[in-house]
Every structure is written in structure tokens, then in C-alpha cells.
Amino acid sequence: MRTWGTPAAVGVISAAGLVSALLGDGVVDALATAAAAAPLAVATWALLARRR
Amino acid sequence: MSPRRIRTWSWLHTWSSLVCTAFLLMLCLTGLPLVFHDEIDDALNPERWQPAHPGTARLDLDELLARALAARPGEVPLFLSFDTDRPVVNVTSGAHPSVSEAAMHFASWDWTSGARVPPADNGEALMHFLLQLHTDLFLGLPGMLFLGAMGVLFTVAVVSGVVLYGPFMRKLDFGTVRTRRSPRVKWLDYHNLLGIVTLAWVLLVTLTGVVNTLAEPIVERWRQVALADLVAGRDGEGVPRQPSSLQAAVDAARAAAPGMVLQFVAFPGVAFTTNHHYAIFLHGNTPLTEHLVTPVLVDARDGTLIGLREMPWYAKALSLSKPLHFGDYAGLPLKILWAALTVITLIVLGSGVYLWLVRRANAAPPLVSAVAEQAGRRESGAA
């Protein structure tokens, strides 16, 4: 869980965003793009908070 | 995982990556501008064309086609496509129906007046060059299939990287970057972090890219198998000298597929149809179905509506693979995200090569050995 929890969550959220952006316009696109951007958000957080 | 398995996966990860890295770097670098092709076209061609008679009835397609062909004496029509955001008809013509793509001629026409629309072609040559390099390395089908094979190899690299992520990260919190350790350890941590968070996107873009490389065989199979029953017993002759009305054929197709949007027409003899059928392609009008086309066949000898066929699953997969690969299906924010993730992929690829080079140059013990030894000690302890 320690190793795989966050990567699995990021993968599921970003995959859902990437696919659901195909299904709608407007607000759906915006929400889907935000979900698809999860890798960027998590990588940025890790690079800022997990440097040691 | 046993030390032997770790070494095997590591070998697979290293060599599947190294073989395809140069091509992946090229695909990322050429893909970046292609994601923004609409924005680049607009920026390089700022003059906005306006139709001669906005809001008025559109010309008969037979009349428009006659004008287009008058400008290209001796040529036959091959394709007709329709802009989605302006009343423009694009006519592709050539010396004969089986002419090569390079010998085709393309011109745009005002659907309200029949006047020629000036080409907005600043930067077009560069974008075409990048697209060809990205698609087939200027080698046609062999180039496409080769790049598809590189995509499969990259998928192996990604999957083996995920398998190795577990043993490498076993003692570390997610996202740890050990900046005070050696550059090799620091870049390994960057490589692991950026690689694992972009996994879903990388797999999506890679696998849809592989599907796109199979476009020609897929279209050919669709034409030969899925459309065969529609035209059974009706083909086998040459292209008609005096085809029936194009406008009537398009009207019949629209009536057969109400609510769908006209996308393009393939004329008798070209790759998407038979020797004597108009193939009229319409697409849906929802965000999902606008990527899915339905062909309607109309006999070009007498205007008889033959019928329509929904795309088979493999053609639907191909159609949906194009937007999912290029990221141009949800506006500029998604394109910017696509670019950012492409840059991250470049970093992952570059750091992978760096890690391999440093290991070779320093003859340093590979990090995988340390991880494998730890795994071996754990197994011994457990026994």
C-alpha cells in the first residue's frame, strides 16, 4: 500500500479524466482535464515536499 | 521478488528502452508542435477569410465541383471534404483515381459563391514535414509499422519499469527524491517518480499511437470485409464516365442518416470505396460520436442508395485513437497538459539514458544489484 497507493490513485484519476474528456463539452471537459492533470499536481507536490 | 527475477526485469527494461529511445525522443519532439497545429496555423495565417455571401443558401455541389474541375483540366475528383466552422468545400483531385498522395491536388472553395478560397499555407510545409516524420519517417506503410513496433517495445519498457518500481521503492516513501545523494541516485528518483505518475497517460498515448500505425491495414480490412456485403454483385466494372448527381447522392445519404454531419465524400475508384460508388461519410454530433463515421454508399451510375454501415469495432478503435493520441479533443487546456506530459516523458527518457551511461562510464555497481541483493537477503531471512 505504501508503495502502490498513490501511484494507483493517480493512474485511476488521470485515466478517468483522459477518457471522460471525450464524452462531454464545457464543464465536463474542464473537470476531465483537471483530473487528467493529477500526475502534474502530484509530481509537483512530491518535488517540493519530498526532497531530502 | 527473487534477485534473479529483478535482474531479468531490469535487463528487459534497459534494453527495450534503449532500442526505442531515439525514436521516442523524435516522436515526442515532433509531437509537441503537432499538438498545437491549429494554434500555430492561426498564428501564422492571421488574415481571417470570410465567405462572399454569409448566411445565404449554399451552392449545388455539382456546380461547385464543376468549377473546381474546370480549374484542373484533365483531372478527376477524388475526395470532397467540408470544413466544420465555415462554409468551405475542399476538393482533392488527381490524374486518375489511384494516383499517389503526392500527386493529388487540393483546393478550397467558397460554398456560398464558388470562388476559390486562398490557401492559408504559411508554415504548412513545416507542419506537413513534422507530421510525416512523426507518422511514417517518410517511408509509408513500412515506416508506420516500424514506429508501431517501437511503440510495442516502449510498452514493454513501461510495464517492466512498473514491475521494477516496487522493489526499488520498497524502503522509500512515495515521491522521495534524494537530492543529497549522488547524481545517479537523484536522477534515479526523478526517473521513478515522473515515470510512475505519468504511467496512465504514457500508456494511453503509446497504445493509441500503435493503433494509429495500423490505420492502412484497418481501413483496407474495413473496405474489403465490412463493406463487401453492401456492394456484393455490384462491383467489377470500371469507373463510370458520367457519374450521377453528387448533390443527389449527398442528399440521399443525409436522409438515410438523419442527425449526422457530413464529413467527406470519396469518389468512385479511390481507396475508401468501389469503382462505381460514392462513399459518403457522416459523423455523429456528440463529443464522442463526432469521432465515429458512418459510410453511406450510393451507386454513382444511377444514384441508387445502397445502404449504410456502422463502423466495426476495430475501425471505431482507430477513430478514437486519433484524438486520444494527439490530445486535441478538449480544448487548449488539455493540449497544454499534453505538452507538459510530453516534456516530462522527455525527462524520463533522458534520465533513463543518463542512468545507463553513468553506470557504463563509472563501471559502478548497478543499482539493481543492490536492490536484488536486498531482495535476496529478505528471501533468505524469510526462509
What's the pLDDT at B213?
97
Q: Is B317 on the interface with A (CB under 8 A)?
A: no
Q: Is B340 on the interface with A (CB under 8 A)?
A: yes
What's the pLDDT at B122?
83
User: Which residue in A has a C-alpha nearest to residue B177's C-alpha?
Assistant: A51
Low-confidence residues of chain B: pLDDT under 50: 382-383
- Angle B165-B170-B172 from CA coordinates, rounded to 5°: 100
Min Cα separation B195/chain A (Å) = 10
Question: Residue B229 phi/psi, 5° resolution?
Answer: -70, -25
What's the pLDDT at B163?
96
What's the pLDDT at B382?
46
Cα dist from B211 to B13, B150, B151, B154, B290, whole Å: 22, 12, 10, 14, 19
CA dihedral B170, B173, B177, B182 (to 10 degrees): -40
- Closest listed residue to residue B218, CA positions, set B285, B210, B288: B210
Q: Is B171 on the interface with A (CB under 8 A)?
A: no
What's the pLDDT at A31?
96
| Residues of B in Cβ contact (< 8 Å) with A30 | 333
Which residue range(s) make up the domain with A29? 5-49
What's the pLDDT at B334?
96
Cα dist from A37 to B3, B113, B209, B350, whole Å: 36, 45, 20, 22
Cα dist from A14 to A27, B99, B331, B347, whole Å: 17, 44, 17, 19
Min Cα separation B179/chain A (Å) = 6
The minimal CB distance from A21 to the residues B173, B176, B329 is found for B329
Cα dist from B292 to B181, B260, B283, B305, B312, whole Å: 52, 10, 6, 21, 10
What's the pLDDT at B33?
96
What's the pLDDT at B383?
39
What are the sequence ranges of the domains in chain B?
3-40+127-213+329-382, 41-126+229-301
Interface predicted TM-score of the whole assembly (ipTM), two decimals: 0.95
Q: Cα–chain-centroid distance for residue B31?
A: 10
Asked if the Cβ–Cβ distance from B193 to A43 is below 8 Å, we say yes
DSSP helix/strand/coil, B113: coil
Q: Is A26 on the interface with B (CB under 8 A)?
A: no
Asked if the Cβ–Cβ distance from B340 to A25 is below 8 Å, we say no
At a CB cut-off of 8 Å and minimum separation 6, what does B276 contact?
A: B234, B235, B237, B238, B239, B240, B243, B268, B299, B300, B301
User: Which residue in A has a C-alpha nearest to residue B323's C-alpha?
Assistant: A22
Asked if the Cβ–Cβ distance from B199 to A30 is below 8 Å, we say no
| Residue contacts between A and B (CB atoms, under 8 Å) | 105
Asked if the Cβ–Cβ distance from B176 to A25 is below 8 Å, we say no
The minimal CB distance from B201 to the residues A18, A42, A49 is found for A18
- Closest listed residue to residue B98, CA positions, set B349, B274, B362: B274
In total, how many domains does chain A have? 1
- Would you list the DSSP string of B165-228? HHHHHTTS-TT-B-TTS-HHHHHHHHHHHHHHHTHHHHHHHHHHHHHHHTHHHHHHHIIIIITH
The minimal CB distance from B199 to the residues A5, A11, A51 is found for A11
What's the pLDDT at B365?
58
* Residues of chain B by 3-state class (helix, strand, coil), percent to 5: 55, 10, 30
Q: How many CA atoms lie within 13 A of B382 on its CB side?
A: 8
What's the pLDDT at B373?
63
At a CB cut-off of 8 Å and minimum separation 6, what does B312 contact?
A: B222, B225, B226
Q: Give pLDDT tens digits for B251-275.
A: 999 999 999 999 999 999 887 788 8
* Backbone dihedral region for residue A26 (phi beyond 0: left; psi -120 to 50: alpha; all else: beta): left
Q: Give pLDDT tens digits for B141-186.
A: 999 999 999 999 999 999 999 999 999 898 899 999 998 899 999 9
Number of H helices and E strands in chain B, helices first, is: 13, 8
Q: How many residues does chain A have?
A: 52
The minimal CB distance from A33 to the residues B175, B197, B333 is found for B333
